[in-house]
Amino acid sequence: MSKFNKIETLGIIRDTRIVPVFYNQDTALAKKVIKACYEGGIRAFEFTNRGDNANKVFEELMFFVRTQCPEMALGAGTILDAQTAAQYLQIGADFLVSPCVLEDVIPVANRRGVLYSPGCGTVTEIVHAIEQGCDLVKVFPAGALGGPSFVKSVMAPLPWVMIMATGAVEPTEENLVAWAKSGVTAVGMGSRLFPESVLASQDWDSISVLCKKCISWFKA
């Protein structure tokens, strides 16, 4: 069962603003990445459903997070159907993320009171997702859609919309300040937050330090 309800998870994401997006079939490595992010101030983490037995890895990560990172909301990403959504909610996922709007996933999440953030690429999709009860929409692929300028244009007529931009988000001060100024509620950030070289060298402290910097740059 999810530890955090929709409102609580949304509050966590709105507070820290940075949501790492990660997948690795090595459970031990994934635990270290999550822990490093947690120590860097991250409180919402998306583990993507992209590999064989990803749900089994997620199950182990969920137990780890509940015991070692108690303030962390752990979500499942790349959800593409209602059956998979239900499976991850049964494990305890605190939120769900998709690359597109999936009509059959929305009621599954709503019945459990869990935050569902579907990917949107147009104003029509964004408004439709909100009408269906999705409080936080994911703009994806944000870079290809125009980056911060796209979000800023959307926010002009729809200032109440809460957007998480994912795609082309970089862990640099210049990039994060630009996203923050666009009006996004949060950003999702993938491999650039934990490059292969860092994972290979197991330099977990550098991930923690970079997370702290990203949070500070965005909030500033």
For 199-216, write each residue's pLDDT tens digit.
999 999 999 999 999 999
**pLDDT score recorded for residue 210:** 97
Domains and CATH numbers, the chain: 6-219 (3.20.20.70)
pLDDT interval class at 52 (50, 70, 90) = confident
Q: Are the beta carbons of 35 and 62 closer than 8 angstroms?
A: no
> What pLDDT is stored for residue 6 in this prediction?
96
Tens-place pLDDT, residues 16-35 = 999 999 999 999 999 999 99
At residue 51 the predicted structure's pLDDT band, cuts being 50, 70 and 90, is: confident
Closest-CA residue to 165 (of 11, 19, 64, 2): 19
pLDDT digits 0-9 by tens, 159-188: 999 999 999 899 999 999 999 999 999 999
Segment 70-111, tens digit of pLDDT: 999 999 999 999 999 999 999 999 999 999 999 999 999 999
Report residue 220's pLDDT band, with 50, 70 and 90 as the boundaries: confident
Q: Are 215 and 17 in contact (CB under 8 A)?
A: yes
What confidence tens digit (pLDDT) does each residue in 104-129 have?
999 999 999 999 999 999 999 999 99
DSSP H helical ranges for 102-162: 105-112, 123-131, 148-155
Cα–Cα distance measured from residue 78 to residue 198, given in angstroms and rounded to the nearest whole number:
24
Contact assessment for residue 100 and residue 119, using Cβ atoms and an 8 Å cutoff = yes
166, 188 contact by CB (below 8 A): yes
What is the mean pLDDT of the segment spanning 135-144?
96
